């Protein structure tokens, strides 16, 4: 709207050139650029960069009041009462005292502002707590080019370029900051060198980074390439050693924040529906006022009488509706947090608890949400023989025999030698680092010396970027080949006999989403042999390894068991072959243009006719009770989509093992598409499938949405389950918005990591899990839980109850307004359509607030079925009975409800003493008053009781059989 107004103003009142300039100026965002960052020299930075801090707040000090008032008055209900209240300043339209209208409006706004202030203050405290953890100076003050010095087990606060781990006792190669012929300088000396990092502009892509390091004060000048492997991300744990780095991106320019949308004010569907209903009541109000003026005969200043009738009947639109609903929502949030069956649950947004009761789509992350992100080694397949968890002792005996025999190897490989080669390859081909905790009493402020560390097996843990790599190394340890030490240039393995084998690391080729494999070249210290080991997905490795007739079949068998498979292969290299490769590889890494393509081409020259060693299968442990929880959600009519950044094979395995896709359901794996024609053909192939789960990659999804958005979403929504793999955080949020736009249904997103924040904030209801990836998702969510299984009770019990109670609450308040407006209409009709009030101002205010507040609020205690029944029969979640009259639809009378009724009656009786001029006390104490009130009550309630009985007789609610 602001853009349209600005355009209209500019084109009408300004010259064409000035108009374009002003519009572009207001719309323009800061353009992100590549940067040159000098080590330790912030003064050389020509541009200003954003502050490095997490922020989940919606407002600041200046925008809070305007923002909250805008959010309130954009609703027709509050805007209508603002106009009505302002009209009381006009003498001709004044009815009674000003407080008759301004007191309820002021009370409504006060309650709303206080509630928003409490929510905003809680967000502020959570952000402050996160920004002050460990590195307060780092998160609040660091700017690009600032130096950082991190030690073991310390977490970073943003994104850095790091140096590699150093060993002060031996020669080492340092890729960043100092040349490879010097020893490590002190931290202070780093500020005196003349060096800089050139980095690409901040980008959304979280899987790549390109940059270069240059040192100018050495002869010759040092030029090194930087890649994603040289970066440290937010919440990274330094596994071992020390890291010296320089800040490159901060605040809003870090990739995690670039992939996060701004927090928005979420409005529940019930609030929107009530807003529409309020508009309908306003039309009824106008119609009733016109009828009264028409019957009056349009005598005198009829337009003034029309407006006075609008004011008199204004209680047909209940101003207390939003206050009652907001108080109810606060009560629902309190009940959720006090539920002992879902401990640790936190309600971070108190405005949308009823949204939990009307969800249709649940979009969930995989790693850390459905799974524990903990892998267990399950199977080793060598082609002719397979080993499972019950036969691992055989592998251990083969390894012991291999290292105990000193005889020359046989020409024909035995099973024992093949097992030895496979286990050694698994123990060497990874990026795992063994970590030894310091002994008690050692300060974390000083560098750990070897004497202060315990190098025993019991004190050793493993750190890696991928948990399945840790599982593989832990398995090799269990069978006798243990990784005991690793630095940048070497790693050491301990044999069953206690001997140490040293291997020098010559090159590492990290895993990428494009290559789907990782490799390493090592040199055996004792023999000098150079070996290239590689492991990866079967789709990538099947064309690299030598011909075999078992790989494809066994991969399929393991996948059906829900295991994640990796193919392991090796290739022996001569010294000449390696030297030739190294020169070509280093040259490709220094390229500025198309670096990734050139590096990949050089590496692929090695990946030919590799010897297939084995096939491994690991299982990602599911979270507790994931299977029954997903089954419950499906029975409740909720469709579940799994959005993950993991690879297709892994996502498919977890979808099967978690029973997201049932065993008897077919899975359609959407083939990779890059063009419109390919997407059209694949969509046609998918259209012919029925009751089939869909698995699609993020790249293919982008192509489909670009050309066939409506068709794809229509087909996907018909699937019982959808799995989107290789999704970026922005894609996850985009999918949520697509479902909202095309289906109009309510969506819920659940995740545990920073990459899920965009999805959580975009959904109608966001749920965060406090997991191993930190609290970022939990802090940005509307609801925070500790385990995925808690979502079942959160939705089936609390969501369902909140929705039904809020609906009943809304109906009661509207019913109350209709009663008083009907009485006013009858009164005016009897007295010749006079526009005078039936009741005094205080009685009207009291009727809308204190006289009826306690019974109304007691509706938050009503329940139709017990929580155990709601969990046992999740089908009740999608059922909502239509109510006749709230007073007749109370299912269970809580003792507090009875107390509320008597409190309300007590308030009314007490007011008789203070407001005796408003009441005819003499008449109230007569028998005539008593029988007339009783007769009116019977006449008004008896037909409704009869209708209720007939409805239960011929159309009983779904829960009636459960409660009988």
Alpha-helical segments (H) within 380-465: 392-404, 415-428
In the sheet that holds 147-150, the strands lie side by side as 147-150, 243-249, 159-162, 231-232
Concatenating the DSSP letter of every residue in 704-773 gives: HHHH-HHHHHHHHHTSSEEEEES--HHHHHHHHHHHHHHH---EEEEESSGGGHHHHHHSSEEEEE-BTT
**CB of 312 within 8 A of CB of 95?**
yes
What burial class does residue 116 get, using C-beta atoms within 10 Å of its C-beta: 0-12 exposed, 13-18 middle, 19+ buried? buried
CA-to-CA dists, residue 449 to 162, 172, 457, angstroms: 22, 19, 18
Count of CB atoms situated within 10 Å of the CB of 488: 17
Q: Which of 177, 175, 246 is nearest to 216 (CA)?
A: 177
Rounded distance, CA 885 to CA 197, Å? 71
Rounded-to-integer distance, Cα 197 and Cα 220, Å: 17
d(CA 151, CA 243): 6
Q: Report yes or no: 212 and 197 within 8 Å, Cβ to Cβ.
A: yes
Long-range pairs, 206-212, Cβ under 8 A, ≥24: 206/255, 206/256, 206/259, 206/728, 206/729, 206/755, 207/512, 207/513, 208/596, 210/595, 210/596, 211/161, 211/248, 212/590, 212/592
Is there a contact between 425 and 532 (Cβ–Cβ < 8 Å)? no
Beta carbons of 237 and 761 less than 8 angstroms apart: no
At residue 353's C-alpha, the angle toward residues 772 and 267, to 5°, is 105
Q: Which candidate, 744, 801, 742, 760, places its Cα nearest to that of 273? A: 744
Which residue has 């969990």 as its token pair?
871
3-state helix, strand, coil in the chain (%, to 5): 50, 15, 35
Distance CA 810, CA 324 (A): 8
Concatenate the DSSP letters of all residues of 793-843 into one string: HIIIIIIHHHHHHHHHHHHHHHHHHHHHHHHHHHHHHHTTT----SS-HHH
- Assign 3-class secondary structure to 24-44: HHHHCCCCCCCEEEECCCHHH
The binding site for Mg(2+) consists of 365, 367, 752, 756
Catalytic residue, candidates 146, 365, 538, 862? 365
Tokens of 731: 């894609």
* Token pair listed for 525: 């210290």
Q: Is 562 left (phi over 0), alpha (psi -120 to 50) or beta?
A: left
Annotation says 782 is catalytic: no
| Cβ atoms 555, 541 nearer than 8 A | no
Cα–Cα distance, 461 to 440 (Å, whole number): 17
Q: Please state, in angstroms and rounded to a whole number, the distance separating the CA atoms of residues 851 and 907.
A: 6
Categorise residue 510: left if φ over 0, alpha if ψ from -120 to 50, beta otherwise.
beta
Question: Count of CB atoms within 10 A of residue 498's CB?
Answer: 7
- b vs e for 721-743, b when ≥16 Cβ sit within 10 Å of the residue's Cβ? bbbbbbbbbbbbbbbbebbbeee
Residues in the annotated binding site: 365-367, 469, 511, 535, 564, 644-646, 726, 732, 752, 755-756
Annotated binding site for ATP: 365-367, 469, 511, 535, 564, 644-646, 726, 732, 755-756
Between CA 151 and CA 445 the distance in angstroms is 9
Catalytic residues: 365
């Amino acid at each position: 709207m602001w853009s349209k107004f600005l355009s209209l103003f500019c084109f009408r009142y300004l010259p064409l050139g000035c108009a374009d300039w002003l519009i572009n100026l207001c719309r323009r965002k800061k353009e992100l650029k590549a940067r040159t960052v000098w080590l330790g020299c912030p003064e050389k930075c020509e541009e200003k960069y954003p502050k490095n801090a997490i922020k989940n707040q919606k407002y600041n000090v200046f925008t809070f009041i305007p923002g909250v008032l805008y959010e309130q008055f954009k609703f027709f209900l509050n805007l209508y009462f603002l106009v009505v209240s302002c009209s009381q300043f006009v003498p001709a339209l004044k009815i009674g005292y000003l407080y008759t209208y301004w007191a309820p409006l002021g009370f409504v706004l006060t309650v709303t502002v206080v509630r928003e202030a409490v929510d905003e203050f809680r967000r502020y405290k959570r952000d402050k707590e996160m920004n002050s953890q460990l590195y307060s100076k780092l998160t609040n003050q660091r700017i690009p080019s600032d130096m950082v010095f991190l030690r073991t087990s310390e977490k970073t606060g943003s994104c850095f370029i790091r140096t590699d781990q150093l060993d002060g006792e031996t020669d080492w190669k340092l890729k960043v900051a100092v040349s490879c012929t010097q020893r490590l300088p002190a931290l202070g000396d780093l500020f005196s060198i003349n060096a800089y990092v050139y980095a690409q502009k901040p980008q959304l892509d979280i899987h790549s980074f390109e940059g270069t390091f240059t040192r100018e004060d050495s002869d010759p000048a040092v030029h090194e390439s930087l890649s994603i492997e040289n970066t440290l991300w937010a919440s990274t744990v330094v596994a071992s050693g020390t890291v010296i780095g320089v800040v490159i991106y901060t605040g809003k320019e870090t990739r995690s924040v670039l992939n996060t949308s701004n927090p928005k004010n979420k409005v529940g569907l019930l609030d929107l529906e009530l807003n529409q209903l309020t508009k309908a009541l306003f039309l009824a109000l106008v119609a009733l006022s016109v009828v009264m003026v028409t019957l009056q005969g349009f005598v005198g200043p009829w337009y003034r009488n029309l407006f006075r009738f609008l004011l008199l009947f204004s209680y047909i639109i209940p101003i207390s509706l939003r206050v009652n609903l907001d108080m109810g929502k606060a009560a629902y949030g309190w009940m959720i947090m006090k539920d002992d069956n879902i401990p640790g649950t936190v309600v971070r947004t108190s405005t949308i608890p009823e949204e939990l009761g009307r969800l249709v789509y649940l979009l969930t992350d995989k790693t850390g949400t459905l799974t524990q992100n903990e892998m267990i080694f399950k199977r080793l397949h060598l082609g002719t023989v397979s080993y499972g968890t019950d036969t691992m002792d055989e592998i251990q005996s083969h390894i012991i025999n291999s290292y105990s025999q000193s005889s020359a190897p046989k020409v024909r490989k035995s099973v024992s030698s093949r097992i030895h080669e496979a286990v050694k390859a698994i123990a060497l081909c990874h990026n795992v680092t063994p970590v030894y905790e310091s002994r008690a009493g050692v300060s974390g402020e000083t560098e750990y010396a070897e004497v202060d560390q315990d190098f025993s097996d019991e004190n050793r843990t493993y750190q890696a970027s991928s948990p399945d790599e840790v599982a593989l190394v832990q398995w090799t340890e269990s069978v006798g080949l243990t990784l005991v030490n690793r630095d940048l240039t070497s790693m050491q393995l301990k044999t069953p006999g206690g001997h140490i084998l040293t291997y020098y690391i010559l090159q590492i080729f990290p895993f990428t989403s494009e290559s789907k494999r990782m490799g390493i070249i090592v040199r055996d210290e004792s023999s000098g042999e150079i070996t290239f080991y590689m492991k990866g997905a079967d789709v990538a490795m099947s064309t690299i390894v030598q011909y075999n007739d078992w790989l494809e079949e066994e991969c399929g068998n393991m996948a059906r068991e829900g295991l994640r498979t990796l193919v392991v292969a090796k290739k022996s290299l001569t010294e000449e072959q390696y030297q030739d490769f190294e020169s070509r590889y280093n040259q490709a890494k220094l390229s500025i243009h198309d670096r990734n393509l050139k590096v990949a081409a050089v590496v692929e020259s090695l990946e030919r006719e590799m010897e297939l060693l084995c096939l491994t299968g690991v299982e990602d442990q599911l979270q507790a009770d994931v299977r029954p929880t997903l089954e419950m959600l499906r029975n409740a009519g909720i469709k579940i989509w799994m959005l993950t950044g993991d690879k297709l094979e892994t996502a498919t395995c977890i979808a099967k093992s978690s029973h997201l896709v049932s065993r008897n359901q077919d899975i359609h794996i959407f083939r990779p598409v890059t063009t419109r024609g390919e997407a059209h053909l694949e969509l046609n192939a998918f259209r012919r499938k029925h009751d089939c789960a869909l698995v699609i990659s993020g790249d293919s999804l982008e192509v489909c949405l670009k050309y066939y958005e409506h068709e794809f979403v229509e087909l996907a929504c018909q699937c019982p389950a959808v799995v989107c793999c290789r999704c970026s955080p922005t894609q996850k949020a985009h999918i949520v918005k697509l479902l909202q736009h095309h289906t109009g249904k309510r969506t819920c997103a659940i995740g545990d990591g920073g990459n899920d924040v965009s999805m959580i904030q975009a959904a109608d209801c966001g749920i965060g899990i406090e997991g191993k990836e930190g609290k970022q998702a939990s802090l940005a969510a509307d609801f925070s839980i500790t385990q995925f299984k808690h979502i079942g009770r959160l939705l089936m019990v609390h969501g369902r109850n909140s929705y039904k109670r809020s609906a009943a609450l809304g109906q009661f308040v509207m019913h109350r307004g209709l009663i008083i407006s009907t009485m006013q209409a009858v009164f005016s009709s009897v007295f010749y359509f006079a526009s005078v009030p039936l009741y005094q101002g205080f009685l009207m205010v009291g009727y809308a607030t204190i006289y009826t507040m306690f019974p109304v609020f007691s509706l938050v205690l009503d329940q139709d079925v017990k929580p155990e029944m709601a969990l046992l029969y999740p089908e009740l979640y999608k059922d909502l009975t239509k109510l006749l009259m709230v007073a007749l639809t109370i299912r269970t009378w809580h003792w507090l409800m009875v107390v509320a009724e008597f409190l309300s009656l007590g308030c009314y009786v007490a007011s008789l003493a203070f407001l005796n001029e408003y009441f005819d006390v003499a008449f109230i104490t007569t028998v005539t008053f008593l029988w007339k009130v009783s007769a009116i009550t019977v006449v008004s309630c008896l037909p409704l009781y009869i209708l209720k009985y007939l409805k239960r007789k011929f159309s009983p609610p779904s829960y009636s059989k459960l409660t009988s």
